Amino acid sequence: TCNVLQAVNEDEKIYYVTSPPMTGHKPRDFMILVSQRQPFKPSEPYIVAVKSVTLTSMPPSSEYCRSEILCAGFQIYSDSDSSCTVCYFHQLTSGVMPYFAANLTGSSKSTEDTALGCIKFLE
């Protein structure tokens, strides 16, 4: 799930995200700040940056394991009127490593789902 908790401004929002459990673990939740930046020049990328934050109004729940994204994001470069290049960056921590490893082994579709969501957003 992914819900907007607070619109900080036009380019920044705080989201509450939950993810399903990995085998033998509780489901995880995240509090993230998502910042979007339009390019100043056509040669510059559109940037989406993600970082975990804390809100006193949303303390950790016993139902979830609160996880952290130190630094992640996308750079989207326009190649032409009909195509673009997307670069994804993610600083890994032990808390998200099982999800990343599952994607590398093909046992999770979350990276594919994220990419499809980006494509839908861009369309």
Kindly report, residue by residue over 60-81, the tens digit of the pLDDT. 999 999 988 888 898 999 888 8
Q: Give the range of the structural domain holding residue 84, as residue numbers without chain letter.
A: 2-91
DSSP-assigned letter for residue 106 = T
Amino acid 88: pLDDT: 85
Domain count, the chain: 1
Q: pTM for the complete prediction? A: 0.72
| Domain-located, residue 121 | no
CATH code assigned at 27: 3.30.530.20
Q: Is residue 120 part of a domain?
A: no
Residue 96 covered by a domain: no
Q: Give the chain's residues under pLDDT 50.
A: 107
Q: What are phi and psi of 65, to 5 degrees?
A: -100, 110
> 63 in the Ramachandran plot: left (φ > 0), alpha (ψ -120 to 50) or beta?
alpha
Closest CA to 71 of 51, 86, 88, 87: 51
Host H or E run for residue 31: strand 28-37
